[in-house]
Amino acid sequence: MATSVPDVLTSQQARLLDEWLGEWEAEEDMSWGVQGIHVLRLRTASGLVVAKASTTSHHIQRELRAHRRMTAPLGPRAPRLLHGDSHAGLVVTAWLPGRLVEGGPLEFEPDTFEQAGKLLALFHQPGHETASYDPAALHKIRDFAERAVGLVPPDQLRELRGLVATHRPAPRVLYATHGDYQPRNWIEDGGLVSVIDFGRAGYRPWVTDLVRLEHEYFAGDARRRDPTHDGAALRAAFCAGYGREPAEEPDSWRLDNVLQALGTVVWAHDVGDVPFEDAGRQMIIRILEGHGAP
């Protein structure tokens, strides 16, 4: 067992780690400090592992489902599930060597995005077709728009409502999707890109995984971190790797851009994440300028 148990773990979680890992030691707390999710790098007799723990978030349940049902096509380019207990809110995966792409020297390299596109194409295994996705998304948009009153300028809310007012729901094929697919969840090791953090994974239309990339890296102002950033080149490289472009499904693309933009503003405001709330407002501005609404 550990000589010093991190105070972010419950007694049940610590006991399970003892049972699963034997002797272990917490090396680093890699938590983001949101949603009550704790991420720890642990050293064991068999090597490094990552433990994710939470008692309040659906993150762990989604993570376990993703590893058990979705990540197999990625092979060694995703962490390997070692142990998990959804009731205890605990999952343990093998450690992937390397560094985060975000903030690293390869963050704005087209090859990085082409590799990421190829990996996403592998991950996006089609599931069933449903007619319920669009109506549910429209319902969420209406709810978010009401909750965004006072957070988003009234004229922008009117324009967003107008964008989706003429939307005609259609059946959608749902795919295994990551839910937060961008460089903060990519690892590179010697230039080879892998994918981590499946806590927002779920079955959705494929375009949903491209929305964040569009606003953060393709159309967004990433030049604040790299003056040589070329969003168009990154978009082209990613789509070349992925093999499809969201303009192929313009209605679905528009719907999910609006849904994620409003959802970002409302969620970030509720949890007090001011920078993320502002990012949502910038998403709205770009959508109304034409991005995400081909």
d(CA 144, CA 269): 12
d(CA 133, CA 98): 37
Amino acid at 192: L
pTM for the model stands at 0.92
d(CA 140, CA 291): 21
What DSSP string describes 104-146? STTTT-HHHHHHHHHHHHHH--EEEEESSHHHHHHHHHHHHHH
For the beta carbon of residue 281, count every other beta carbon within 10 angstroms.
18
Q: What is the pLDDT of residue 293?
A: 54
Q: What is the pLDDT of residue 218?
A: 93
The angle subtended at Cα 272 by Cα 267 and Cα 278, nearest 5°, is: 70
Radius of gyration, alpha carbons of the chain:
20
Contact assessment for residue 223 and residue 229, using Cβ atoms and an 8 Å cutoff: yes
φ/ψ of 258, rounded to 5, equals -65, -45
**Which residues lie across from 100 on neighbouring strands?**
187
Q: What is the pLDDT of residue 234?
A: 96
Ramachandran area for residue 68 (φ above 0: left; ψ -120 to 50: alpha; else beta):
alpha
Q: What is the mean pLDDT of each run of 10 residues along the chain (294 residues)?
A: 71 96 93 80 96 88 96 98 96 96 95 98 97 98 97 97 94 97 97 96 98 90 66 96 96 97 96 93 92 55
Q: What is the pLDDT of residue 238?
A: 98
Q: What is the pLDDT of residue 31?
A: 86
Q: What is the pLDDT of residue 56?
A: 77
Question: Which stretch of DSSP H or E encloses residue 20?
Answer: helix 11-21
Q: What is the pLDDT of residue 141?
A: 98
